[in-house]
Chains A and B, each alone.
Chain A
Amino acid sequence: MSQAAPARQRRWDWRAAGNFVGGSGAGVLVCAALARALGAPAGRAPTVAVALGLIIIAAGLTSVWLEIGRPLRALNVFRQPRQSWMTRESWVATALFAAGAASLWSGSTTALMAAAALGLGFLYCQGRILAAAKGIPAWREPRIVPLILATGLAEGTGLFALVAVANGPVPAWLPLALIVLPLCRGIAFQRYHKALRRSGAPTATFAVLDRAARPFLLYAVALPAALAILSFLPDPAGAWLIALAGAAAFVGGAAFKYTLVVHAAFDQGFALPHLPTRGAGLAGAATKPGWRMP
Chain B
Amino acid sequence: MTRFVMVIDLRRCIGCQACTAGCRHANATPPGVQWRRVLDLEAGTYPETRRTFVPVGCMHCGEPPCMEVCPTTATRKRDDGLVTIDYDICIGCGYCAVACPYQARYITRRPRYAYGEAATESEAARADPAMLAVATKCTFCIGRLDAARETGLTPGVDPEGTPACVNSCVTGALQFGDRDDPESNVSRLIREHKTFRMHEELGTDPGIYYIWDSQ
Contacts and interface: CB of A to CB of B under 8 A. Distances in A.
Interface of A: 1, 3-4, 7, 9, 11-12, 16, 64, 67-71, 73-74, 76-80, 83-87, 90, 129, 132-136, 139, 265, 267-268, 270-278, 283-285, 287, 289
- Which 8 A-B pairs have CB atoms at the shortest separation, nearest pair first? A69-B92, A69-B133, A11-B94, A276-B10, A86-B71, A76-B72, A268-B101, A287-B43
B39 A133 contact: no
Interface stretch (B117-125, B184-192, B193-201): B193-201
Contacts, number: 169
A275 B52 contact: yes
A1 B42 contact: yes
Interface of B: 9-11, 39-44, 50, 52, 54, 56, 65, 67-74, 89-95, 97-103, 107, 109, 132-134, 194, 196, 198-199, 202, 204, 210-214
A9 B43 contact: no
Given A3-B39, A70-B90, A73-B91, A132 B68 contact: yes
Residue of B52, B69, B109 most packed against chain A (CB within 10 A): B69
A12 B94 contact: yes
A287 B99 contact: no
A85 B204 CA distance: 18
Contacts of B10: 272, 275-276
Contact of B72 (A64, A79, A268): A79
A87 B71 contact: yes
A276 B107 contact: no
A1 B42 CA distance: 5
A293 B215 CA distance: 29
B202 A134 contact: yes
Contacts of A77: 71-72, 91, 93
6 contacts: A1-B41, A4-B39, A11-B94, A86-B93, A87-B71, A133-B65
B71 A135 contact: no
A32 B56 CA distance: 51
Nearest to A137: B101
Given A78-B71, A80-B71, A134-B99, 8 more contacts: A69-B134, A80-B72, A135-B97, A136-B98, A274-B213, A275-B212, A278-B50, A284-B44
Contact of A84 (B69, B89, B94, B100): B69
A271 B52 CA distance: 11
B108 to A, nearest CB: 9
Nearest to B92: A69
| A interface, over-half SS | loop
Q: Which of B41, B71, B102, B204 has the most CB of A within 10 A?
A: B71
Contact of A11 (B98, B101, B198): B98
A115 B92 CA distance: 30
B162 to A, nearest CB: 23
Contacts of B90: 69-70, 73, 76
A134 B101 contact: yes
B199 A268 contact: yes
A68 B54 contact: no
Contact of B89 (A12, A73, A271): A73
Given A132-B68, A284-B44, A76 B54 contact: no
Contacts of B202: 134, 268
B44 A276 contact: no
Given A135-B101, A270-B198, A68 B71 contact: no
Contacts of A268: 101-103, 199, 202
A222 to B, nearest CB: 32
A124 to B, nearest CB: 16
Contact of B91 (A12, A76, A139, A275): A76
A221 B198 CA distance: 40
Contacts of B41: 1, 3-4, 270, 272, 287, 289
Given A68-B91, A274-B196, A86 B212 contact: no
A284 B43 contact: yes
Contact of B54 (A7, A139, A270): A270
A132 B204 CA distance: 13
Nearest to B40: A3
